[in-house]
Structure 1
Amino acid sequence: MTTTGPVVCFGELLLRLTAPAGSMLLQDSYVNAHFAGAEANVAIALARLGHPARHVTRLPANPLGDAAIQHLRRYGVDTTGCRFADGRLGLYFLTPGASLRAAHIVYDRAGSAFAGIDADSFSWPPLLAGASRLHLSGITAALGAGPAAAASAAVAAARNAGIPVAFDGNYRASLWTGREHLAPALLRPLAAAADILFGDARDIALLLETAVADHDRAVAAAFAAFPNLAVVAGTRRTVLGSDRHRLSARLDSRAGHAETAAVEFPVVERIGGGDAFAAGVLHALAERPADLAHAAETGLALSILKHGLSGDASLTTAAELAAFRRGDRDVRR
């Protein structure tokens, strides 16, 4: 469970404001605050599992930015890649689901310190020095031309340095409003640079601008379109209610695939489950690079554990993950 160098995660760090359980947003006189962000979630999860992880972002030069840095450091994430600038901290507002009512997210990220970045905002060679991997997602490209250019610069620098790239499609329709037609062209080069792609048939159909919905055909098309791609990893979810889901995981390589059984479990919070899955897969592949079954089971286990925790990030340690996989469910005293 050691890596040769830090996994470098690149993306926006946000403040999440959440309505109390069972309430609509602003129905009550208070909200719960958590720091959030897909890529930061992966960095925190990996650090908790014992891997060196570095987060690269830009934050406002004010107390909120300072608190965001402390949030990362609290969980062992290297913050030497974090920069400060004028602007604001991006926000998102969450109304949790309840009973059969779905959760709802409202983003407020325009004009944030991170949204103002461009291709020259970061000097990538020193940030990537000694890194074992770069991890990023399609969310950054959705935030505007500048962040999309910054994502491309990060990927180009990683490829030039021979550093493998993991890319999570993470398509968020509301972030692409008015720019939907640009998404395939902006996201496709990021996916093409990756050796690991987190996504499903819908993500692949978007990247390739096809109507392929069948998983096997979509994965075959992805491998044909992206010669660098070695693994496609994703989950399949059935929502039985806001507090009960069924989830399975599958990893595909060019040589075959591994798929878990579906597991039904109660849900405390769904947000961040996909990021925990990605971290679990990266963790497992660092342990056993060719063992797809191990990676699928580990990613699924970490995601399930995250569903039992409030907040955005998985805080599960390697020992806790191992205990869960052994079937330990009783109180540990």
Structure 2
Amino acid sequence: MEMGRIVCFGELLLRLGAPGRELLLQSPQLQVHVGGAEANVGVSLSRFGHDVAMVSTVPGNALGAHALGELRRHGVDTRAVREVADGRMGLYFLTTGAVQRASEVVYDRADSAFAHSTAADHDWPALLQGADWLHLSGVSPALGPQVAEATLAAACAARASGVRVSFDGNFRPTLWQRWGGDAQAILHALFDQADIVFADYRDIEVILGQRFTQAGAVERVDAAAAAAFAAFPRLQWLACTQRQALSVDHHALGALLLGREGVRAQAPVRQLTGIIDRIGGGDAFAAGILHGILSGFDADATVRFGLAAGGLKHSIPGDFNPVSEADVLAQMGEERFDVRR
């Protein structure tokens, strides 16, 4: 097994959630968790045994210090996170759904310290020294033109240094609309630098400006992957989950991993009942896929590991998925629910 070094670049957030299944501010209290798409992936990979570093910007106050402390608690190197005097911590508020009421997120991250960071703030050749992978997501460029430029600069620097690039599409239309960003052009440029993308056919539709009208969702993913491999010659892998929400608390979750050379692996659908928290499930899946690739798993084992990791996240409150490789392997190998002794 190759325990690689992964550098993650993105915004650290505080999540303020209504307790239990209450509506937001139904009672005067909020539960706090640290998160952020890229940080979620970093924590998972660290718990799987990899050397992980976070690159970000936080305010130099108690909120930023708490976020950094949580990352360090999970083994993530935070020495490349800038602490600045000006700016604020990015926040989001979560109302967890119940029965037929969907969960709802309210963002409060405009003018955050990270949103004001620029490409010049990061010495990427130094930050990527000894790295095997750089992990990015589409959330960062959606925050504004400066961060979009910084994200693309990171991807290009990785490519120039021989570091592989992992990119999660994470299309967030409300964030792009806030500043009128050209999501198609910017995401197209980032996909062009990536070795692996986490995206389904809807992300590819946005980026390539074409529709996939095959009868089934799996067929649409197959067609989108073929179009992506044709459009992006550096791209080697595309991975995605397929979710059917039967209710807020019961989802059917499957996954696909497709390779440029025709490799195709599909994990059997998992029935997730009694869901505790689905936030971060996609990030846990992405971390599982990256772990499989770094560990030399074949495509079938990689996609099953990714799906099992993503499924386990649904049982854990908060954005992070603090499970070990052994926890995920046990989930892959058994469906027993008695107490492990």
User: Shorter-chain TM-score category?
Assistant: over 0.9
Please, which of 288, 291, 297 is the counterpart of residue 283 of structure 1?
291
Aligned counterpart in structure 1 of residue 279 of structure 2, from 236, 247, 271: 271
Which residue identity is paired with 1:177?
Q
* Offset, 1:62: 0.8
Q: Is the CA contact (8 Å cut-off) linking 2:8 and 2:55 kept in structure 1?
A: yes
Q: SS in structure 2 opposite 1:271? A: coil
Correspondence for 2:306 among 299, 304, 309: 299
Q: Please say which of residues 89-98 and 248-257 is displaced more in the overlay.
A: 248-257
- 1:21 is displaced (CA, Å) by 1.8
Deviation at 1:309, TM superposition (A): 0.4
How far did 1:256 drift? 2.6
Residue in 2 aligned with 1:17? Answer: 16
CA contact (8 A) 1:269 1:307 kept: yes
Aligned to 2:150: 150
Partners of 1:9 and 1:56 within 8 A in 2: yes
Aligned to 2:223: 217
Read off the aligned partner of 1:92 and give its amino acid letter. Answer: Y
Distance 2:102 2:318 in 1: 17
Structure 1 residue runs of 4 or more that deviate by more than 2 Å after TM superposition: 1-4, 178-181
Pairing 1:106–2:106 present: yes
The one-letter code sitting in structure 2 at the alignment partner of 1:129 is Q
1:182 aligned partner, one-letter code? D
Q: Which ranges in structure 1 are unaligned for 5 or more consecutive residues?
A: none
Structure 2 unmatched runs, 5+: 214-219
Shift of 1:19: 0.6
Which secondary structure state, in structure 2, belongs to the residue aligned with residue 139 of structure 1? coil
Letter paired with 1:183: A
Q: Give me the CA root mean square deviation.
A: 1.2
1:243 is aligned to: 249
Q: 1:178 to 1:18 in 2, by over 3 A?
A: closer
Secondary structure in 2 matching 1:275 = helix
Deviation track 1:255-312 (CA, whole Å, cap 9, x = no partner) reads 23111121112211110000000000000111126x2111110000000100000000
2:7–2:133 Cα contact (<8 Å) kept: yes
Choose the corresponding residue for 1:232, options 230, 238, 241: 238
Is the Cα contact below 8 Å between 2:144 and 2:181 reproduced in 1?
A: no
Structure 1 counterpart of 2:287, one-letter code: A
Separation (CA, whole Å) in 1 of partners of 2:107 and 2:292:
32
1:156-188 deviation per Cα after TM superposition (whole angstroms, max 9, x unaligned): 110110100000000112111245560011111
Q: Structure 1 length normalisation: TM-score?
A: 0.97
What's the secondary structure of 2:80's corresponding residue? strand
Q: What's the CA shift for 1:218?
A: 1.0
Partner of 1:331: 339
Mapped contact 2:11–2:36 kept (Cα < 8 A): yes
Write the deviation string for residues 41-83 of structure 1: whole angstroms up to 9, x where unpaired. Answer: 0000000111111111000011111111101000000112111
Whole-angstrom distance in 2 between the partners of 1:178 and 1:59: 21
| Matched residue SS, 2:3 | coil
1:87 aligns with 2:94: no
Identity of aligned residues (%): 47
Aligned positions, number = 331
Q: Distance in 1 between matches of 2:210 and 2:105?
A: 28
Secondary structure in 1 matching 2:72: helix
Specify the code of the residue in structure 2 equivalent to 1:56.
V
Amino acid of the residue matched to residue 316 of structure 2? L
Instruction: Check the 8 A contact 2:3/2:49 in 1, yes or no.
Output: no
Shift of 1:212: 2.2
Task: Provide the rounded CA distance (Å) in 1 between the counterparts of 2:263 and 2:327.
Answer: 30
Separation of aligned partners in 2, 1:317 and 1:256: 27
- Counterpart of 2:46 in structure 1 is 47
Mark the CA change 1:178 to 1:32 in structure 2 (over 3 Å): closer, same or farther.
closer
Amino acid at match of 1:304: G
Give the distance between the partners of 2:308 and 2:126, measured in 1 at CA.
Answer: 34
- Letter of the 1:204 counterpart: I
Distance 2:179 2:109 in 1: 15
Contact map agreement 1:21 1:98 (CA 8 A) in 2: no
Aligned pair partner of 1:253 in 259, 271, 285: 259
Distance 2:53 2:229 in 1: 29
- Structure 2 counterpart SS, 1:8: strand
